Amino acid sequence: MKIQEILKYVFSFVLAGLLLWYVLKEQNIQEVATSFEDLNWGILFTSILISLTSHYIRGLRWGLMLKPLNYKASGPNLFMATMTGYAGNVIIPRFGEFFRCGILQKLTKIPAKTSFGAVVAERAIDLVIFIILFSIAFFSQFEKLHNMIMPHFTQNEDALKGKFMLLAIVGIIGIFILGILFKIRKRLFKTPLFRKFYSFIQGILEGMAGVFKLRSKDLATYFLYTALIWITYFYMCYILFFAIEGTSMLSPVVGFVMMMMGGLGMVLPTPGGTGSYHFFATQTLLIYGVAEPDAIAFALLMHTSQTISVLTIGGVSTLIANLKKSPEPIEQTQQNGI
């Protein structure tokens, strides 16, 4: 493993630890624990069940993107691969997508490079939807969220300028390197290593193209799955408000904002959102008048319940995939010019 990768993992875990410390540093743990005294276990398990439903639908949507490429996988196999990916992200940040594609290949023999291309496409689409929904949440609750977010940007203005400058320099260097590679492309194609790399990139691009090749009926199903994923995300969060007394008075609007701000926390490079989710969830609830011990309790309850369910089912799925007899290699049929 390269030193840069080791440093990246160390940074992820250190960041998670620092954010958790920041959230809990001045808290009386006994007060936080008191928030759990009247925990409604039925609501907690309902929230977990809703989240698992969203993961299953995500798996079905992933499989739908592979359909135009003439690859087919069952719902359970897609679900197991998806859960393995989520569990992988908890253990090694940002590597879950590789894990899920590898498990799907083990279960179905669908090439990992192709299914990974579909993952890249779905993540790009989800990012666009996230930006739209986050914008709605932010501007509809502008006064509250502006006062929460902007101080962190103004305090670190110089650091942000430095990061943008670094990104610009990296971008220019990247364009320069691509230009050189383009000029020597004929010589590169003669090397086995480059041909293997090129084949891998082709597989990813093929998987990404799957969404653009969906028939009208499948495209409608794709958008339905996407809508259901976000709806289940909302209810997974909102219903959990009623699991503890300190958040039971919150409205659906707060549930929507909580979903988006929590999602922002999950985007940061920490193991499974550890620390970053707790920070954003707690800060969001505080601006809506929730007592700090209850806000921390909710963040701990949501993140811990989701992490345990993901690690449990993801671990079982990995075990099943490794014990299951490998299927025969699949062959693509010629269709739609593929």
Q: How many H-runs (helices) and E-runs (strands) does the chain carry? A: 14, 0
Average model confidence (pLDDT) for the chain?
A: 79
pLDDT-derived band of residue 335, with 50, 70 and 90 as boundaries?
Answer: very low
Q: What is the distance between the terminal CA atoms of the chain, rounded to a whole angstrom?
A: 37
**In the prediction, which pLDDT does 210 show?**
64
Name the token pair of 229: 């994923």
**In the prediction, which pLDDT does 24 show?**
63
Between the alpha carbon of residue 173 and those of residues 162, 167, 176, 178, 301, the distances in Å are 17, 10, 5, 9, 45
- pLDDT tens, position by position, 240-294: 999 999 999 999 999 999 999 988 888 776 777 777 888 889 989 998 989 988 9
Determine the length of the chain: 338
Q: Scanning the structure block, which residue is given the tokens 């909302």?
A: 234
Residue type, 40: N
Helix axes 252-267, 112-140, angle to 10 degrees: 130
Residue 64 CB neighbours (<10 A): 20
Residue 22 predicted with pLDDT over 90: no
- Cα(199)–Cα(54) distance, integer angstroms: 33
Mean pLDDT is lowest, of 105-109, 135-139, 168-172, for 168-172
Residue 31 predicted with pLDDT over 70: no
Name the token pair of 56: 């299953």
Q: What DSSP assignment string belongs to 160-225?
A: HHHHHHHHHHHHHHHHHHHHHHHHTHHHHTTSHHHHHHHHHHHHHHHHHHGGGG--HHHHHHHHHH
Mean pLDDT is lowest, of 34-48, 71-85, 204-218, for 204-218
Question: E strand or H helix at 122, and its extent?
Answer: helix 112-140
pLDDT-derived band of residue 338, with 50, 70 and 90 as boundaries?
Answer: very low
Residue with the bigger pLDDT between 40 and 154: it is 40
DSSP 270: S
Between the alpha carbon of residue 309 and those of residues 49, 202, 325, the distances in Å are 9, 35, 26
Residue type, 64: L
Mean pLDDT is lowest, of 50-59, 115-124, 145-154, 270-279, for 145-154
- Cα(227)–Cα(57) distance, integer angstroms: 10
Residue 17 predicted with pLDDT over 70: no
Residue with the bigger pLDDT between 233 and 200: it is 233
